[in-house]
């Protein structure tokens, strides 16, 4: 008889990840809910024989998680896979932005990625500002800036994207390209993303596009990145300039 596969889930590390990591709802409801609340998770990796104890508060790993990330030099853009080995013991495997497993040359200190000559390279070089409006919520359709055409993580063959909020929860949305507008757009999922995140008209999201041009891209909310801050400054500068122009007229 074939041995059942050990349940697992993966998490992309987004800005602020050291403060805690959220367990996906589906995984939590199937494998964690009902477990002893005060029982810590035990995380282990191939970096060393050490076991890290991490406290779970609801669906979030909190106390002890930061120490684990620092010991493994985890960074924004890395992806970690949690494999449940039973009794709240998880084997954690980190992958770098190139999708290659991170090899640790010395526990807690140095890491390097495996040979990535044949691996896809992720792009993190494009951020854009999205505003929640009555129109895009009603139509369930939000257009990306025309400049997104230059982003290597996106292409016209993409049929869907993942919208990821600050907690790491994701929503699947349809992705398409409008020939008439010359721009990419998100639909059939944008409205749900806004509703589930309790958005109101006028709310702003800064998305960082993560992908390799062939796999499903991630659009990650990233308010803490320097580039995102600059986008917000430019956005409000344009608003102020428009108001000033209107006042003069």
Q: What is the pLDDT of residues 221-241, one digit of tens each?
A: 865 444 444 554 554 455 455
User: Does pLDDT of 152 surpass 90?
Assistant: no
Higher pLDDT: 172 or 230? It is 172
Mean predicted confidence (pLDDT) in 35-47: 84
Q: Above pLDDT 70, what percent of the chain?
A: 76
Quick one: CA dihedral 95, 101, 102, 106, positive or negative? Answer: positive
Q: What is the pLDDT of residues 53-111, one digit of tens each?
A: 999 988 899 999 999 999 888 887 788 889 998 889 999 988 876 556 777 665 444 44
Report the residue count for the chain. 249
Rounded Cα distance between 70 and 74, Å, is 6
- Tell whether pTM > 0.75: no
183-200: burial string, b at 16+ Cβ within 10 Å, e else = bbbbbebbbebbeebebe
User: Contact at 8 Å (CB) between 170 and 164?
Assistant: yes
φ, ψ dihedrals at 150, nearest 5°: -90, 0
Rounded Cα distance between 136 and 145, Å, is 14
User: Contact at 8 Å (CB) between 59 and 49?
Assistant: no
User: Does pLDDT of 13 surpass 50?
Assistant: yes
Rounded Cα distance between 142 and 146, Å, is 12
φ, ψ dihedrals at 43, nearest 5°: -105, 135
CA angle, 235 as apex, 229 and 241 as ends, to 5°? 135
Q: Which residues pair with 160 in a beta bridge?
A: 174
Tokens 């060393």 identify what position? Answer: 48
């Amino acid at each position: 008889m074939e041995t059942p596969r050990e349940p697992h889930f993966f998490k992309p590390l987004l800005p602020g990840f050291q403060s805690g990591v959220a367990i996906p709802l589906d995984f939590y409801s199937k494998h964690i809910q009902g477990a002893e609340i005060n029982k810590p998770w035990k995380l282990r990796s191939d970096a060393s024989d050490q076991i890290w104890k991490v406290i779970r508060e609801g669906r979030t790993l909190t106390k002890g998680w930061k120490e684990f990330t620092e010991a493994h030099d985890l960074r924004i853009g890395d992806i970690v896979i949690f494999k449940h080995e039973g009794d709240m013991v998880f084997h954690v495997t980190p992958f770098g932005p190139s999708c290659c497993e991170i090899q640790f040359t010395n526990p807690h200190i140095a890491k390097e990625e495996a040979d990535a000559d044949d691996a896809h390279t992720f792009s993190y070089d494009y951020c854009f500002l999205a505003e929640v409006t009555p129109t895009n919520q009603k139509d369930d359709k939000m257009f990306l800036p025309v400049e997104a055409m230059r982003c290597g993580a996106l292409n016209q063959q993409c049929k869907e994207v993942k919208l990821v909020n600050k907690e790491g929860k994701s929503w699947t949305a349809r992705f398409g390209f409008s020939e008439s507008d010359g721009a990419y757009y998100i639909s059939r999922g944008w409205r749900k993303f806004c509703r589930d995140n309790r958005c109101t008209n006028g709310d702003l999201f800064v998305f960082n596009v993560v992908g390799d041009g062939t796999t499903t891209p991630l659009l990650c909310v990233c308010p803490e990145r320097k580039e995102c801050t600059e986008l917000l400054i430019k956005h409000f500068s344009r608003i102020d300039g428009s108001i000033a122009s209107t006042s003069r007229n």
